[in-house]
Every structure is written in structure tokens, then in C-alpha cells.
Amino acid sequence: MFNTPHQKHSKNMYQNRSTRTREEANQMNMEAPSSDDQESNQRRRKRTYRRHTQQQIDEMDTFFKQCPNPNDAQRRELSLRTGLDPTQIKFWFQNRRTSLKVQTDRDENELLKIENEKLRDELDRYKGAISTTCKVCGSSSNAGEMSHEEQQLRLENALLRKELERFVGETPTDSRANITSSNNSTHVASHSTDFGVAGGNNGASHRMVGEGLSVGGSSVQIKGLNEKQKIVELAVVGMDELTKLARTYGPPLWIPTNYVTEILNGEEYMKYFPRGNGPNTCGLRLEGSKESVVVMINAPDLVDILMDVNQWSNMFCGIVSRAATLEVLSTGVGGNYDGALQVMTAEFQVPSPHVPTRQNHFVRYCKLHPDGIWVVADVSLHLLNAASASSSSSSTASRTNRRPSGCLIETLPNGLTKVTWIENVEVDDQVVQNIYKPLVNSGLAFGAKRWVATLHRQSDRLFFRTATNVPREHHVRLTPEGKKSILNLAERLVASFSTSIGSSTTHAWTKVPGNGPEVVMVMTKRYIDESSIDKPVSVVLSAATSFWLPVPPRRVFDFLRDQNTRKHWDILSAGGIVHELAHISNGRDSGNYVSLFRITSENSEQSDVVVLQENCTDVTGSYVVYAPVQIPTMHEILNGGDSSRLTLLPSGFAIFPDGCITNGGPIMNVGSGGSLVTVAFQIIVDSIPHARLALGSITTVNTLIKNTVERIRTAVMPNGI
């Protein structure tokens, strides 16, 4: 039909045109949407170009924070407020919840990735440590591949191991070493209640009445290398605990008070140190306190005092009634006490026969830290010697354990020293008399505040004693050497008085039968007159009692120390005139001084006698201590003579706050509250050392004490002078 070329060409053109027409139609059919698609596209375009306003978004976002999944009624309410369709609101909330969940999941994934990376790094570090450890001996097989942290840990472990070996294997060469005790042996340290003082006791050939120490009863027995190693381990753990306690401030571990002292929270303490120095002992109360003070003494000198049992007990003679070093495990390195370790025993007291003492066996460890801070830590050894501790209990000593206690000593840029003191003990205080319980519970009796107050007062005393100036307010010739000699004698006077009126286990106090509120206690002692050539031995009767006054302690102290009011309580001064011959300050407080006075009266039988008196006070207590001295002997001392050969019989008063609670807190200021006063007299009653004490002597001293108490009560009460 299409045989000609022209026809064939026309046919091809027609076919090509038809093909293009069909392709174009198909393309148009594909591009042209259906009616449904057109409607959908129109809605899509409307959503694209009809965005929510910022006001609508803020309204819905505010509602979303309160209710992320609203119901129909809430959506209709939002629709009216925003002008949006409820369906739009529904989808907005749905999208908002979805986006928030996605964001939360993304953040959690990021945190998990970071944690995973940390775990991978830690795992790699452990694998590296394992790969560098010899499986046979456990030592490093390739130290060059160890991390710096791992090398430091291994170095510290090696140093600790060497220190432990040195502690255990060292043979002490110090003169304080190898002082052991047993049930039947007697050993001398710093204080004594025996008037028979033998020569050669720790280098002191002559001691004052009440100085030396008889350590009776069971004590710590160190048996073999294993026992020493346990003591060293206790000391190291205790040192770490004490350091952490001192460098932790405020709640919850330390409870601040309205005074400087912080009180230890017992429950938090057991959480911080669950394994510490043994578990809580059943029936004992935890008593912990912390306080800081700045003192005028350099750190090395203070460390020397704390590590020498004689200097330590003399400085804190009002607290330490007797003490001894039982064994020195290490004397320290580098020419100082860094690393020194010694086993000690001590008895802590309140100067009154009515307050039981607290006796402890402990290890004292001294360490110089890399930051230049000295730490002296005491750790009780009751866990190592439980049977021994129980057998040594006495009716005059409270059952007590000394948990890590001691002090941090830091040198300040101005040349002063900051001391942070911690007392942490377990004690059975049920045997304390009711009149003294508030004082003991307040922390003024055995807490850190009393140690710090005593340290502050004694450091002032050391500073004033070394001062070269000589006071001008005196009527006798006083040289710098004489000043030093009389201050040394007064120091021994107070130490003897403080350690002789407490309820130490070496004191055989006996209650004097009688009526009245005051319970008078008496005991007899031997007295050796060291100043005499033939050193005669006599019998001395000591008598003491404690009583309460509703008068602030400072007022009582000022009354007793004043020479003008002495006639109101001192029988020997009644009707006479008291002349102050010398007045030597030994502290920044005006109440801290040593005085020398003479009493003149028509009936005076002691015209050849002067009275040496020391007055000292701090925020926890005060003392007025005096003793008669023969005038020729005092002339020697004023000219710089040796006062260590002179033996005196001190009498006097110890004044403490009553510790009662006022205005919601315990009394911590000696200017408020009531007072607890202990008065004590010592008199020679017989020149025959083994003679029986006459009943008349007891009656005489009992009457003397009761009359003195009544005179004081009458004078200081509001209706008195």
C-alpha cells in the first residue's frame, strides 16, 4: 500500500508523530495529579505557608510545660485562645513530645558514649598494668611502659614498706627508750604524788613535791616483732584519720557551735571511718571536739615539747596528772622527730578529787608532711591489750579509749604557729558526780578547748619568761637571772599543786565523816626536805574539797588573787597588812603573773617568811597557788640561785566554770555562769615518817577548809563585799 518512497517517508513521519504524541500524553498523565492529589497538595502548600505565630507558639509552649498531653477539652480551650484548629494543636503537641523525647535520647546517648570512653580508657590502663607485671613475682617487668601514676603508687608503696621495716627493726638509742612497766615495778616520768623523790629520775636529781610518777597496774606489754608491727600499723592508720579529721571543716562531720569549738558528729564519724581504729566500744560515749589557735612558739620547739614526756606533762600539768614513755620504737630521722614513734601511758584529770581521771595507753606518732605541716597523733592501744586494759581499771579512773587525737602544727608567715587540736575519745562518764557532769559534757574539762587554752597560756608564759626586761613594780632587787629563777620555781609550784589535788589512781583520798554540803577528802604523804643537808622525812596531810558558787569564775579568781581581799579568806592574813614585794607578768592577760608578798601583823609568827604566789587564768579555768618560803632562801633565788633544790608545800585554789547551759548553749566564757572551786591545803603534821596520824590533825585541817569555804562564800556572794 505504501510502496513508493514518498509513501514510506510519510508513513515513518506519521509513526514518529504518533509515538511523540503518546509519550507526551503519558508524560502529561504522569505530571497531572488526580483530584485527591490536588487536594492533598493544596493542603500541603497551606501548611507550608501558614506558619504558627510566635504568640501561638509561646501560648502552647507554656501550656505544654504544665500539661504535655492535653485532652479534647483542653485542646478546644487552646483553640479559642490561639485561633488554631484543635487538630493543629493536637499535632503540635504530638510533635513537641516527639522532639523532646528525641533530644533526651540524644543527650543520654552522648553521656553513655562519654562514660563508655572512660571505661575503655580505664580498661586499657588496667590491661597495660597487667601486661607490665611479672606473673611470678608480681613486680614490674617493664617499668618504662608503666604510666606515671602507676610508678608513683609503686614508689609510695616501696617507701612505706621501708618505713615499716625501719620502725619494726630499729633499736632505739634515745635515753627515753626501754622504759617498761609491770604490775610490781615503779617507773618515774613527769609527775608524782610521792614526796620521797629519788635522784636520777630522767636526769632530774631534785623534784618538787608531787613530781615523779609511779606507774602501777597493768600496762602495755610489747612482745616480739609482730606486736610492734601491729602498733606501727595502728599509728599509720591513726595518723591518716587524724589528718582527714583536721582538714575536714563544717557539717555534716563537724557541728559548729556558738563558740570556736566544733563538735564531732558521732554518726557521720562512723560513716567517714567505718573501719577506723576499731568499732565503737559498748557502753562508752563518743566525745569529740576540734579547735584552732595561734600561739607565740615556733613549730619545731612545740614538736619537741609534745614528744618529750617531761616537757609535755609539765606544760599541760593541769590536764596530765602523770605520764610515762613505755618504749620508743623510733626516734625519728634527719635530726628531728619526723617519723618518731613511742608507746606511752598517761592519766588525764580535772584538778579535783571528785572527778575520776581518764587513763590511757597509746602510741604517739610524729610526722612532717611534705607541705611543711607537723602532725602529732595519739592512737589508743586498747584493741591490742583488751585484757590488760580491763584488768587495770580502777574505781578512781573512768573507762576510756583514746581514738586518733592530737594536733596539726603549721608555721605562719609572721613567725607565729597555728595549731589545730582534736580530742576524740570514748568514755564512760557515768561515775562523774552530778555537780561536775555539765562541766565534763561541755568539753571544758577534757575537750580540745581546754588543751588549746592551756597551750595558748603556756606559750605566752614561755615568751614572757625569755623576755629580757625586768619589771619595775617591785620593792626588792631583782636581776634577770633572779626573774628566771623565781618564774621556774613558780612553774614547779603550780605543777605540784595541779597534780596533787586530782583523783589520780596513785592518790589514796579518804572521805572525812561529817555534815554539811562540802565533802572534805584527806590523804597523807611522805615529805622529803631536799633543801636541808640531812634531808629529813616528815608526814604531810593533804586536804581538799570542791564546792559551787553562783558567781562567775573571773570574779572568784579576781577576789582570791587580790592582796587587798586576802584577809577575807586567809586566816594568817586576818588583821594584818599584805605588802606586795614583786610582781612579774607572765602572760598577756592581766591575771597571769607571779607575785611575792609579805604579811605583817602584831600577832604574826611568820615574820621570817614571805609568800610566793602564782595566778594564772584562761577561758577554761584559773589557779591561785601559793606557798611560804623562808626569807634567806628567797634572797638566794632573787639573786639567781638554783631554785630546783627547794621543796615547797603548795596550797591554793582551782576555779572552773560550772558548764551549765544558758540561753540554749553551754557556757564557754569565764565571765558568765557559776563556778566550781576546789580548795586544797597541805601541812606538815609529824616529823616521824611512819607515825600514825592523830585524829586531831584531821579535825584541824577539816575545820580550816570548811571555815575557808564559808569565808569565800560570804565574801563573793551578792550580799558580800
Burial class (CB in 10 A: 0-12, 13-18, 19+), 50: exposed
Is 333 strand, coil or helix? Answer: strand
Determine contact, residues 543/521, Cβ cutoff 8 Å. yes
Q: Record the cell numbers describing residue 597, joined without a space.
A: 608578798
Cis peptide before 252 (omega within 30 of 0): yes
Sign of CA dihedral 58, 64, 65, 70: positive
Amino acid, single-letter form, for residue 240 = D
98: CB partners within 8 A, 6+ apart: none
Helix axes 54-66, 86-131, angle to 10 degrees: 60
Is 621 strand, coil or helix? Answer: strand
Q: Which helix (H) or strand (E) holds 194?
A: none
CA dihedral 480, 462, 616, 406 (to 10 degrees): -170
Q: Longest Cα pair distance anywhere in the chain, in angstroms?
A: 179
DSSP 14-57: HHHHHHHHHHHHHHHHHHS--HHHHHHHHHHHHHHH-PPPHHHH
pLDDT digits (tens, 9 = 90+) for 156-207: 556 556 655 555 555 443 433 333 333 333 333 444 333 333 333 333 333 3
d(CA 537, CA 530): 9
Nearest to 490 by CA among 591, 654, 613, 589: 613
Q: What pLDDT score does 173 carry?
A: 39
Per DSSP bridges, beta strands 593-600 and 609-618 are: antiparallel
Amino acid, single-letter form, for residue 41 = N
Amino acid, single-letter form, for residue 292 = S
CA dihedral 28, 31, 36, 42 (to 10 degrees): -130
Burial class (CB in 10 A: 0-12, 13-18, 19+), 419: buried
Q: What pLDDT score does 168 carry?
A: 52
Number of helices (H), then strands (E), belonging to the chain: the values are: 17, 22
User: How many Cβ atoms sit within 10 Å of the Cβ of residue 121?
Assistant: 10
Q: What pLDDT score does 472 carry?
A: 52
Same CATH fold assignment for domains 50-146 and 467-716? no
Nearest to 340 by CA among 154, 157, 173: 173
Name the CATH superfamily, with its identifier, for domain 50-146. Homeodomain-like (1.10.10.60)
Residue with cell 592508720: 237
Please identify every stretch of the chain with a pLDDT value under 50, giving residue numbers as ranges: 1-2, 5-7, 9-11, 14, 21, 24-32, 46-47, 135-145, 171-219, 386-396, 470, 663-671, 720-721
d(CA 290, CA 407): 9
Q: How far apart are the first and last CA of the chain?
A: 159
Q: Record the cell numbers describing residue 498, joined without a space.
A: 595541779
Long-range contacts of 273-276 (CB under 8 A, 24+ apart): 273/241, 273/244, 276/237, 276/241, 276/403, 276/404
d(CA 678, CA 241): 37
Nearest to 95 by CA among 150, 139, 52: 52
Per domain, the residue ranges of the chain are: 50-146, 158-463, 467-716
Determine contact, residues 303/409, Cβ cutoff 8 Å. yes
Q: How far is CA 409 from CA 130, 314, 318, 404, in A?
A: 41, 20, 22, 16
Residue with cell 627547794: 646
d(CA 530, CA 205): 10
Q: Rounded to an integer, what is the distance from CA 29 to the centroid of its chain?
A: 95
Q: Phi, psi (5° rounding) for residue 271?
A: -75, -40
158-463 CATH, one of 3.30.590.10, 3.30.530.20, 3.40.920.10, 1.10.10.10: 3.30.530.20
Sequence-ordered strand ranges (E) for 487-560: 510-511, 521-528, 537-549
Q: What pLDDT score does 269 carry?
A: 84
The CATH classification number of 467-716 equals: 3.30.530.20
Is 413 strand, coil or helix? Answer: coil
Q: What pLDDT score does 307 carry?
A: 92
Q: What pLDDT score does 523 carry?
A: 83
Per DSSP bridges, beta strands 397-398 and 357-368 are: parallel
User: How many Cβ atoms sit within 10 Å of the Cβ of residue 35?
Assistant: 7
Residue 668: DSSP 8-state: -
CA dihedral 14, 15, 16, 18 (to 10 degrees): 80
Determine contact, residues 415/301, Cβ cutoff 8 Å. no
120: CB partners within 8 A, 6+ apart: none
